[in-house]
Amino acid sequence: MKSLTEEIIKAWENREPVAVFATLDKDGVPNVIYIGCMGLYENRQFVVADNYFDKTRKNILNKSKGAILFKTKEGKAYQIKGSMDYETQGKRFDFMKSINPPKHPGHAAAVLLPEEAYSGSKKLL
């Protein structure tokens, strides 16, 4: 897993509240969803709350790679790609619970481990 650049961290801090999260099923068919319950863990891993996942959960458990696409409030887009972890306990799960509104179930933490990052066509990682 690569370290995030200062540009990516600052962009994340200035992001719009909703992002896009993509995974692949075992046959390579993409599944894309909107996410709002997400956070940056230790400035290096993206944590998404599994509140109502179905296909996304299955894909992650089948060792899918993932991608998060977010944009800043100024409209600059960032895409982060990497492998995924899925946790129902531990520090990253606890972090997810701390950022997830109590009205949502927070079944698990889907954790994106950055391997590549882009802003437009500019490769950042």
One-letter amino acid at 87 equals E
**In CATH, what is the architecture of 6-123?**
Roll (2.30)
pLDDT digits (tens, 9 = 90+) for 26-64: 999 999 999 999 999 999 999 999 999 999 999 999 999
Residues 6+ apart with CB under 8 A from 92: 41, 45, 47, 85, 109, 111
**Which has the minimum average pLDDT: 2-6, 68-72, 121-125?**
2-6
**Domains in the chain: boundaries:** 6-123
Confidence (pTM): 0.95
- Res. 79: pLDDT tops 80: yes
Integer Cα distance of 124 and 8 in angstroms = 8
